Amino acid sequence: MKFFLCFLALAFSLQAKELVIEDILDRQVRINLPAKRMVLGFYYTDFLAVGKKEAFDRVVGFVKDAWAVYMSENYEAYKSIIPRLEKLADVGDPQFGTFSIEKLLALKPDLFIIADWQYELIKEHLPLLEKQNIPVIVLSYNKESYDQHAKSTEILGLILDQEQRAKQINAFYKTRLDEVQSRIAKAGLKKPKIYIEFGNKGASELSFTFGNDMWGALINLAGGDNIARNLVQKWAVINNEQIIASNPDVIIITGRERELHTNKEAMVMGVHIEESEALRRLLHFKERIGWADLKAVKNERLFAAYHRASTTMADIASVEFIAKMLYPQLFKDIDPNKTYEDFHTLFMPFMPEGTYYIGGIAK
């Protein structure tokens, strides 16, 4: 028996390793792998894409609301194939002031993975986490930089012992990004002006547009001239007069699932959303004061996209979508919906049914 226990200890020591990982903030973080009690702050689907659903067997807690409340249909779809999600502890959400360091510590995690914007919100707790020897790894997909996307994915590959899979995901993204940008560069066309708005408040009230983060950064990757670039740093509301004065060539309204039952006029897109319902809501945005005279509306270039098809490796489909809406003549052979489906077929447990992009039919 003593020999057997010694053998197990030796086997474990051979499998276990200590690694120093440079995270997205260039912090040198010492981690003991394999991590067996992780807490996940954000980027749930990228964690899943790299580690596959078995990776959640090593997760003991997460920031629940950002997925279960604000992406409810998406969360329910994944919960149906990962029942463990329902059993995970909720440590609260930093962006809404409900994060609890006590709940996190009670889980005795061996790794806390968070987004860069979450890191800024909970920095005051870091000394306590360091005192308890709980490493914190910071990732970022929000800035929509290929380098940060790739580095975050590589980090997940190291943590989850899926380095080859992480390389495949990065290659999927980079190949398609290079193709988009190469075609635009060769064409040498003037950049069309574009406005993207999160349509969660409906046509009667303006909501967030994007500067250098999220959809604003995706515009840059897709070769567009973002009318909000010099008006908004990350995300904020601009007034209707500014939109009218800019007269964008293309408008994209993003939506998610949450507003389907809470706001009958808000834009909805995503898991289990019917295209007919999404289109019905999209057409109301044409009725805004002054929008009938915008080039985007007059030329029937008002489109829609799934809001959560951003800040993730799957958002290469959104780069293609924006590029195709801006330069339709250059991307006749590119199907963003197929790219989104291909990503899920290759790297996700399944492809949820729903509506993710609406282009060319908002008449």
- Helix H, strand E, coil C: the string for the chain is CHHHHHHHHHHHHHHCEEEEEECCCCCEEEEEECCCCEEECCCHHHHHHHHCHHHHHHEEEECCHHHHCCCHHHHHHHHCCCHHHHHCEECCCHHHCCCCHHHHHHCCCCEEEEEHHHHHHCHHHHHHHHHCCCCEEEECCCCCCHHHHHHHHHHHHHHCCCHHHHHHHHHHHHHHHHHHHHHHHHHCCCCCEEEEEECCCCCCCCCCEECCCHHHHHHHHCCCEECCCCCCCCEECCCHHHHHHHCCCEEEEEECCHHHCCCCCCCCCEECCCHHHHHHHHHHHHHCCCHHHCHHHHCCCEEEEECCCCCCHHHHHHHHHHHHHHCHHHCCCCCHHHHHHHHHHHHCCCCCCEECEECCCCC
Evaluate whether residue 290 is within a structural domain: yes
209's tokens: 């547009």
Q: Report the C-alpha gap between 196 and 306 in whole angstroms.
A: 12
Evaluate whether residue 239 is within a structural domain: yes
248: containing domain = 190-358
Whether 203 and 151 share a structural domain? no
Q: 17: pLDDT confidence band, cut at 50, 70 and 90?
A: confident
pTM assigned to the model: 0.93
Whether 106 and 15 share a structural domain? yes
Whether 49 and 89 share a structural domain? yes
Q: 71: pLDDT confidence band, cut at 50, 70 and 90?
A: confident
Percent of the chain clearing pLDDT 90 (strictly above): 90
Whether 68 and 148 share a structural domain? yes
What are 134-166's pLDDT values in tens digits? 999 999 999 999 999 999 999 999 999 999 999
Whether 332 and 230 share a structural domain? yes
Evaluate whether residue 3 is within a structural domain: no
Asked if residue 295 lies in contact with residue 248, where contact means CB atoms within 8 angstroms, the answer is yes
pLDDT value of position 233: 87
Whether 228 and 304 share a structural domain? yes
Whether 145 and 209 share a structural domain? no
Whether 157 and 197 share a structural domain? no
Q: Reply yes or no on whether the pLDDT at 6 is more than 70.
A: no
Q: Reply yes or no on whether the pLDDT at 328 is more than 50.
A: yes
Q: Which residues does 259 contact at the CB level (< 8 Å), separation at least 6?
A: 200, 266, 267, 268
Q: Reply yes or no on whether the pLDDT at 87 is more than 50.
A: yes
Number of separate domains in the chain: 2
pLDDT value of position 15: 61
Whether 99 and 205 share a structural domain? no
The rounded mean pLDDT for the chain is 93
Evaluate whether residue 93 is within a structural domain: yes
Q: 8: pLDDT confidence band, cut at 50, 70 and 90?
A: very low
Lowest mean pLDDT among 5-9, 105-109, 318-322: 5-9
Q: 16: pLDDT confidence band, cut at 50, 70 and 90?
A: confident
Evaluate whether residue 320 is within a structural domain: yes
Evaluate whether residue 242 is within a structural domain: yes
Whether 197 and 339 share a structural domain? yes
Evaluate whether residue 173 is within a structural domain: no
**What is the CATH number for 27?**
3.40.50.1980
Q: Reply yes or no on whether the pLDDT at 276 is more than 50.
A: yes
Whether 70 and 151 share a structural domain? yes
What are 235-261's pLDDT values in tens digits? 899 999 999 999 999 999 999 999 998
Whether 200 and 333 share a structural domain? yes
Percent of the chain clearing pLDDT 70 (strictly above): 95
Q: 72: pLDDT confidence band, cut at 50, 70 and 90?
A: confident
What are 194-245's pLDDT values in tens digits? 999 999 999 999 999 999 989 999 999 999 999 999 999 888 999 999 999 9
What are 279-312's pLDDT values in tens digits? 999 999 999 999 999 999 999 999 999 999 999 9
Evaluate whether residue 138 is within a structural domain: yes
- Averaged pLDDT, 5-17: 49
